Structure 1
């Protein structure tokens, strides 16, 4: 049985066993049965505990082996120490789906980790799939099937079904969010708490939810990345299916990472890398539960935007200013209205209002409520407007009437309308309810509204992007015999030449005899650099001499470099001295790097080069490979990007040439994914526009070299 098939059975079981059940419905082992009865589960229920003959009139069995019928899913509420025997019993009974509630596994240390591995090994041998351990269960909201003991299951009002699927490593966080979202009128299809993710993990559940026809928004709470490549694959499905993927990832700080490890035995990974991957693949990332609920709200409506051009309407000048202030940093354009639209709005609003965006209809709308709604209908018809934010403080009967009218207008258009309705529940609660029932996204503050609109714009714009083709790179797939150890600068530059990347002309001098033979025939000025896999920071070792103008200076530089390096690192292996042309064109120093991430594989990095890497830490990251459009996006993210565009009279630099090289190196890294530990091309000089680039230094550390102490 595949994981997808297993998840289908978990969510739609025809029969459920509860192993370790209790008649005390206030206990963890009693609540699963209580919840199934509360929500009138229609399948077979088989309580298992030798202490009881029956519970609530349902026969209770001494062992899972005594159950007379088939069991689709078994809920296991017993000690972790009994798990190996439970697996054996389930194997004999041909129970293939288990939910493990108990703790005492990898999250508690080495002994628990070993037990978890043994349980998983036995389960795989038996063809058993597991959700958990250390989880509170799952909920098929569509069919009202609660499998577990989450407090949210105990509602007597029933569940609000809808189009949001949610997978969470944390049970408390996941089902708390569910409860709050239900109060906001957000309907769900499924919720699964994966806990320690021994077998089935959060991405498996998200994959299932993306394919589910009743689920159009998929969200997740993560404490680690169980499978980096799978995350990328489901993000591609998200784009293809036009179903937003919203993620809240814990462990962004060092303290948070340690807490996540102890909580669910997760290795959280680099937050910087995770955010880069999310941006590259159109994943919506949020900072907390509130933000996730707000994102769910705007996406569950199902509308998309054509662009980022927004118009805001309010009965408060201050609110309009706040919306304008938030729009720019959030990447939203407060579009200038067409003359015709502006003139029509002026004819509707009081003369002391403002028809400019943000539109201020003033408090006169208290008397004439049509002012707000007539203005809204005008903007709906304007093709230059992609989305509308409607802000009001009106409550009571007037507020209800306005909200009802907004809901009616919203049903007639594909254009997103978001509402900020400020005020107490006593005054504005009925208006909020009207909007929620109509699926109109409504928020209590301006910032929450504008941030939610940003999520919608980002996803809509990402999905409009066409898949770009990669550059054709010569010899990209050629496997070299020497792809091991450390490639020093001279060898790296040979490789860059095969990729059609400009490097200075040079030669490695092995000894003084060779120096004597060639010194008169070289083109001066020159640069000399030590070549040694044991010396990565050549300048620190005295291994670099520049502006060498003649053969005499070359001989002196050669001798001084060897002397300095020998004193710096007496045991270093010296392969020679690289002598190459000194490029005198003025260029901006950039760098291109590759690093191997344990979760996502080869990453491509760029930023300002030279000493600025460590000082400014101004870098952009993507998973390799990146096409030209992505390479340009990476550069635009840099704080130093204006230097490339040209500032204070400086001419623009050859951004296109650098982006092309960045794309080529990323493809090289991707083709050698898993083989390159680190790669550093630094500096890369970027010359004036049209004059290209030159890679002046570089090193590659191949995977086979990881056991050696190397500093790049």
Structure 2
């Protein structure tokens, strides 16, 4: 359903309209009149004939026309009655500013659900409750009571800020306005009872004048719309940066597996955002720090940085900051350095970082000559110019002009680091992104480069709806399949499992020993005992018939002593490899199937080195995930050893994803640990599949 009635309404009713422009019911009327709204404003107040110079109406039913949008600026039961009256009138959308609904507990949530059902049945959409409101400075539709629009003068621009929190919709707005960046959309959805941040994002990102979308999320219950927004953003070239609060675990019951302990809700959010090319900010600064770079429309070819400064100390500090941020200093070509030596004083450094020295004080044209030379070097992807001291005697307006000309000609990212406000202002006025310190400048460049790499690798994709739909039933009772059944289920989807046989007698185990011509492992095979080793029900390196017979008898007796029915002993060939990995997966109640892979062994939970992927994914996605782990060098080869088989790990991960998806939510979690990996392949030595009870 279109959200046009919220973003570009032709008429707006304000229920609870106030003549006081500083009250919640008065602010929107002031803003609509002050910031260019050309539609009709319809105040509703039974106690007044006029409000802020406009005719007022006693009730919604008395309005002379059906408004596109309504602002509910009354509280409690009066707000509920106003929503009901708007639905009866045929209003297309309502912004509910009242609180005291879903945030108060189950009863409030139930009331929200009732109002949503009533409104949607009448064709009306709801924003809120507990919403500060929406503001579109492109259309003048300011359906908001935010004080920030008084404190920071609005200016239409290419940025959109959408948030569940009212404060976090306008804090980024205020920071951007301080830096002279215009903001078009400033929306706060409150409780997300109906219209969510994600749905609003999918609508706003289609605005042809929006070039950057900033989001603040407290919950993420509508990933489908956010995935759609990301797809539109990738198509239009509009980056999305999201600040998601609440990185702690959500308290959901974890499956009795490594996967459940490691694939926490917040890590799944990380995986979802990464899959869709959305940069996850760590704080408000990360949300806005690189805005000027995004708005330039640059497409960085890589991360190699050139640093140019009139201070040796700044050169060193910038190089240190770049190293911390993962931005290598570009290795300049010999010809580039030779050309620089012909330009710079003999005591200057022509190597990167390039110290042009205090000669800048007497030769104001140095930047105009140095920048094109360095810019022509194909090894350089981006530039940081550091001017720690300037002012009287320095022609910094020319420095700015020369830099701006180079920025336009090169098409490569260029930023300035300068502590003096007047120097920064000279650059920003000409469109050069400027920062107070080299640390801030480097951080912005690093985020910008990494985000573009993320976007280049992102393929997006729809969520697995069948699995998600079943997971939403919140099945509580689950059971485990025994190891043999678990491995067999995964083998059907392409996993390579260890050679094994389920034996009911010791003679069968001895026969398998003779056929395998290899030492064996014997384990209890019982769905009731998913963690056999904890009960002493595993025997290793059995190489003769007597040892096999003894181990079989001990395991059978151990199972029966624990009060469980004997279901057999699993005999498996002893297998060697270079590294134990873990691969697993679970059904997330919001995102559907999630696959985990990484370093295995007994310390997998205590010292996790793992990555998460959301199906569908391919081998390239798995290789990128492995490249981000501490054990990544093992897949390149270390100390003369051949590289581990990443393709085999990918097949194992894809098998886990396929079982989760095919199970349509009945398979709740999977744990393959260890997956023994070598240069020649990967073999699953053990597996544990958790299913909904009764499946």
Establish whether residue 79 from structure 1 lines up as the match of residue 75 from structure 2.
Answer: yes
The alpha carbon displacement at 1:386 in A equals 1.5
Establish whether residue 420 from structure 1 lines up as the match of residue 417 from structure 2.
Answer: yes
Residue number among 653, 657, 681 corresponding to 1:692 in the alignment:
681
Taking the aligned partners of 1:519 and 1:581, their CA distance within structure 2 comes to: 8
Q: In the alignment, which residue of structure 1 is the partner of 2:12?
A: 16
Q: Secondary structure at the match of 1:162?
A: coil
The alpha carbon displacement at 1:518 in A equals 6.6
1:448-597 pair list within 5 angstroms:
448-465=440-457, 485-511=479-505, 523-567=517-561, 569-570=562-563, 572-583=564-575, 585-597=576-588
Residue number among 316, 323, 338 corresponding to 2:318 in the alignment:
323
1:32-111 pair list within 5 angstroms:
32-111=28-107
1:166-245 pair list within 5 angstroms:
166-245=161-240
- Kindly indicate whether the alpha-carbon contact (under 8 Å) linking 1:604 and 1:625 is maintained by their aligned counterparts in 2: no
Q: Secondary structure at the match of 1:532?
A: coil
Establish whether residue 402 from structure 1 lines up as the match of residue 390 from structure 2.
Answer: no
Residue number among 685, 688, 701 corresponding to 2:690 in the alignment:
701
Gaps of 5+ in 2: 253-263, 462-477
Taking the aligned partners of 2:391 and 2:661, their CA distance within structure 1 comes to: 58
Taking the aligned partners of 2:522 and 2:457, their CA distance within structure 1 comes to: 46
Taking the aligned partners of 1:68 and 1:625, their CA distance within structure 2 comes to: 53
1:590–1:221 CA distance, 2 compared to 1 (3 A): same
Taking the aligned partners of 2:36 and 2:650, their CA distance within structure 1 comes to: 61
The alpha carbon displacement at 1:176 in A equals 2.1
Establish whether residue 122 from structure 1 lines up as the match of residue 114 from structure 2.
Answer: no
- Kindly indicate whether the alpha-carbon contact (under 8 Å) linking 2:416 and 2:424 is maintained by their aligned counterparts in 1: no
Q: In the alignment, which residue of structure 1 is the partner of 2:468?
A: none
Q: In the alignment, which residue of structure 1 is the partner of 2:256?
A: none
Taking the aligned partners of 2:281 and 2:131, their CA distance within structure 1 comes to: 23
- Kindly indicate whether the alpha-carbon contact (under 8 Å) linking 1:301 and 1:441 is maintained by their aligned counterparts in 2: no
The alpha carbon displacement at 1:132 in A equals 1.3
The alpha carbon displacement at 1:467 in A equals 5.7
Q: Mean alpha-carbon deviation: is it higher for 488-497 or for 637-646? A: 637-646
Taking the aligned partners of 2:642 and 2:370, their CA distance within structure 1 comes to: 47
Taking the aligned partners of 1:453 and 1:673, their CA distance within structure 2 comes to: 43
Taking the aligned partners of 1:416 and 1:78, their CA distance within structure 2 comes to: 49
Q: Mean alpha-carbon deviation: is it higher for 357-366 or for 671-680? A: 671-680
- Kindly indicate whether the alpha-carbon contact (under 8 Å) linking 1:631 and 1:660 is maintained by their aligned counterparts in 2: no
Q: Secondary structure at the match of 1:373?
A: helix
Taking the aligned partners of 1:514 and 1:256, their CA distance within structure 2 comes to: 46
Taking the aligned partners of 2:559 and 2:195, their CA distance within structure 1 comes to: 55
1:329–1:593 CA distance, 2 compared to 1 (3 A): farther
Q: In the alignment, which residue of structure 2 is the partner of 1:473?
A: none
Residue number among 383, 386, 398 corresponding to 1:388 in the alignment:
383
Q: In the alignment, which residue of structure 1 is the partner of 2:425?
A: 433
Q: Which is bigger in relative contact order (C-alpha 8 A, separation at least 6)?
A: 2
- Kindly indicate whether the alpha-carbon contact (under 8 Å) linking 2:400 and 2:430 is maintained by their aligned counterparts in 1: no
- Kindly indicate whether the alpha-carbon contact (under 8 Å) linking 1:167 and 1:206 is maintained by their aligned counterparts in 2: yes
Establish whether residue 151 from structure 1 lines up as the match of residue 147 from structure 2.
Answer: yes
- Kindly indicate whether the alpha-carbon contact (under 8 Å) linking 1:305 and 1:386 is maintained by their aligned counterparts in 2: yes
Taking the aligned partners of 1:671 and 1:312, their CA distance within structure 2 comes to: 53
Q: Secondary structure at the match of 2:363?
A: coil
1:653–1:303 CA distance, 2 compared to 1 (3 A): closer
- Kindly indicate whether the alpha-carbon contact (under 8 Å) linking 2:327 and 2:446 is maintained by their aligned counterparts in 1: yes
Q: In the alignment, which residue of structure 1 is the partner of 2:293?
A: 298
Q: Secondary structure at the match of 2:539?
A: strand
Taking the aligned partners of 2:131 and 2:627, their CA distance within structure 1 comes to: 43
The alpha carbon displacement at 1:649 in A equals 5.5
1:644–1:615 CA distance, 2 compared to 1 (3 A): farther
Taking the aligned partners of 1:305 and 1:559, their CA distance within structure 2 comes to: 66
The alpha carbon displacement at 1:398 in A equals 2.5
Taking the aligned partners of 1:635 and 1:305, their CA distance within structure 2 comes to: 24
Taking the aligned partners of 2:424 and 2:488, their CA distance within structure 1 comes to: 66
The alpha carbon displacement at 1:247 in A equals 0.6
The alpha carbon displacement at 1:465 in A equals 4.2
1:602–1:12 CA distance, 2 compared to 1 (3 A): same
Taking the aligned partners of 1:700 and 1:123, their CA distance within structure 2 comes to: 43
1:254–1:651 CA distance, 2 compared to 1 (3 A): closer
Q: Mean alpha-carbon deviation: is it higher for 215-224 or for 274-283? A: 274-283
The alpha carbon displacement at 1:671 in A equals 3.9
Residue number among 620, 627, 635 corresponding to 2:626 in the alignment:
635
Q: Secondary structure at the match of 1:211?
A: coil
The alpha carbon displacement at 1:656 in A equals 3.4
Q: Between Structure 1 and Structure 2, how many residues are aligned?
A: 666
The alpha carbon displacement at 1:365 in A equals 0.7
- Kindly indicate whether the alpha-carbon contact (under 8 Å) linking 1:625 and 1:670 is maintained by their aligned counterparts in 2: no
Taking the aligned partners of 1:377 and 1:414, their CA distance within structure 2 comes to: 12
Taking the aligned partners of 1:384 and 1:231, their CA distance within structure 2 comes to: 36
- Kindly indicate whether the alpha-carbon contact (under 8 Å) linking 1:486 and 1:705 is maintained by their aligned counterparts in 2: no
1:218-259 deviations in whole A, cap 9, x for unaligned? Answer: 1101111122343333323322322111111111246999xx
The alpha carbon displacement at 1:63 in A equals 0.1
Taking the aligned partners of 2:121 and 2:46, their CA distance within structure 1 comes to: 27
1:497–1:667 CA distance, 2 compared to 1 (3 A): closer
Taking the aligned partners of 1:582 and 1:518, their CA distance within structure 2 comes to: 12
Taking the aligned partners of 2:88 and 2:20, their CA distance within structure 1 comes to: 29
Establish whether residue 675 from structure 1 lines up as the match of residue 671 from structure 2.
Answer: no
1:673–1:631 CA distance, 2 compared to 1 (3 A): farther
RMSD, aligned CA = 2.5
- Kindly indicate whether the alpha-carbon contact (under 8 Å) linking 1:533 and 1:573 is maintained by their aligned counterparts in 2: no
- Kindly indicate whether the alpha-carbon contact (under 8 Å) linking 2:501 and 2:512 is maintained by their aligned counterparts in 1: no
Q: Secondary structure at the match of 2:298?
A: coil
1:144-165 deviations in whole A, cap 9, x for unaligned? Answer: 332111012225x852222112
- Kindly indicate whether the alpha-carbon contact (under 8 Å) linking 1:310 and 1:386 is maintained by their aligned counterparts in 2: yes
Taking the aligned partners of 2:518 and 2:159, their CA distance within structure 1 comes to: 68
Taking the aligned partners of 1:350 and 1:208, their CA distance within structure 2 comes to: 56
1:310–1:158 CA distance, 2 compared to 1 (3 A): same
1:519–1:370 CA distance, 2 compared to 1 (3 A): closer
